[in-house]
Amino acid sequence: MSNRMWGGRFASGPAEIMEEINASIGFDKRLAPQDIRGSLAHVAMLGAQGILPADDVAAIQDGLKAVHSEIEAGTFVFRRELEDIHMSVESRLTEIVGPSAGRLHTARSRNDQVATDMKLWVRDTLDNLDAQAAGLQQALAEKALAHAGTVMPGFTHLQSAQPVTFGHHCLAYVEMLARDRGRFRDARARLNECPLGAAALAGTSFPIDRHATAAALGFDRPTANSLDSVADRDFALESLSAASICAIHLSRFAEELVVWTSAQFDFVRLSDGYTTGSSIMPQKRNPDAAELVRAKSGRIVGALMGLLTVMKGLPLAYSKDMQEDKEGTFDALQALSLCLAAMTGMVRDLEPNAGVLARAAGSGYSTATDLADWLVRELGLPFRQAHHVTGRLVGVASGKGVGLEALSLPEMQEAEPRITQAVYAVLGVENSVASRVSFGGTAPANVRAQAEGWLARLAEPVA
Residue 226, judged by CB atoms within 10 A of its CB (0-12, 13-18, 19+), counts as buried
**Could you give the angle at the alpha carbon of 101 between the alpha carbons of 99 and 106, nearest 5°?**
115
Q: What is the pLDDT of residue 459?
A: 95
Q: Using the predicted structure, report yes or no on whether residue 51 has a pLDDT greater than 80.
A: yes
Dist. CA 324–CA 311, nearest whole Å? 10
Q: Which of 2, 262, 278, 319 is catalytic?
A: 278
Q: What is the pLDDT of residue 3?
A: 46
Q: Which of 235, 190, 191, 206 is nearest to 42 (CA)?
A: 206
Q: Which whole number is the average pLDDT over 157-165?
A: 89
Q: Between 9 and 435, name the one with better pLDDT.
A: 435
Least confident of 69-78, 183-192, 427-436: 427-436
Q: Between 9 and 426, name the one with better pLDDT.
A: 426
Model pLDDT for residues 395-405, shown as the tens digit of each residue: 998 999 888 88
**Biggest alpha carbon distance in the chain?**
103
Q: What is the pLDDT of residue 284?
A: 67
Contact 432, 358 (CB under 8 A): no
Least confident of 52-61, 71-80, 126-135: 71-80
Q: What is the pLDDT of residue 161?
A: 81
| Exposure on the CB side of residue 17, measured as CA atoms within 13 A | 0
Model pLDDT for residues 83-132, shown as the tens digit of each residue: 788 888 999 999 999 999 999 999 999 999 999 999 999 999 999 999 99
The percent of residues above 90 in pLDDT, for the chain, comes to: 76
Contact 300, 336 (CB under 8 A): yes
Q: What is the pLDDT of residue 217?
A: 98
Q: Which whole number is the average pLDDT over 431-444?
A: 92
Q: Which whole number is the average pLDDT over 244-269?
A: 96
Contact 133, 181 (CB under 8 A): yes
Q: What is the DSSP letter of 225?
A: -
Q: Using the predicted structure, report yes or no on whether residue 364 has a pLDDT greater than 90.
A: no
Q: What is the pLDDT of residue 366?
A: 79
Dist. CA 365–CA 402, nearest whole Å? 9
pLDDT band of residue 462 (cuts 50, 70, 90) is confident
Q: Which of 118, 143, 156 is nearest to 329 (CA)?
A: 118
Q: Does 251 qualify as catalytic in the annotation?
A: no
Q: What is the pLDDT of residue 1?
A: 32
Dist. CA 114–CA 324, nearest whole Å? 12
Q: Give the C-alpha distances (Å, rounded to integers) separating 407 from 136, 379, 429.
A: 44, 19, 16
Q: Give the C-alpha distances (Å, rounded to integers) separating 306 from 83, 315, 318, 329.
A: 23, 18, 18, 10
Query: How high does pLDDT run on average in the chain?
Result: 92
Q: What is the pLDDT of residue 2?
A: 39
Contact 41, 216 (CB under 8 A): yes
Q: Which of 195, 193, 188 is nearest to 42 (CA)?
A: 195
Residues paired with 276 in a beta bridge: 286
| Exposure on the CB side of residue 125, measured as CA atoms within 13 A | 28
Q: Does 2 qualify as catalytic in the annotation?
A: no
Q: What is the pLDDT of residue 12?
A: 59
The percent of residues above 70 in pLDDT, for the chain, comes to: 94
pTM over the 0.85 mark:
yes
Q: Which of 157, 205, 279, 438 is catalytic?
A: 157
Dist. CA 244–CA 300, nearest whole Å? 6
Q: What is the pLDDT of residue 426?
A: 85
Model pLDDT for residues 186-219, shown as the tens digit of each residue: 999 999 999 999 999 999 999 999 999 999 999 9
Cβ neighbours of residue 50 under 8 Å, at least 6 residues apart?
207
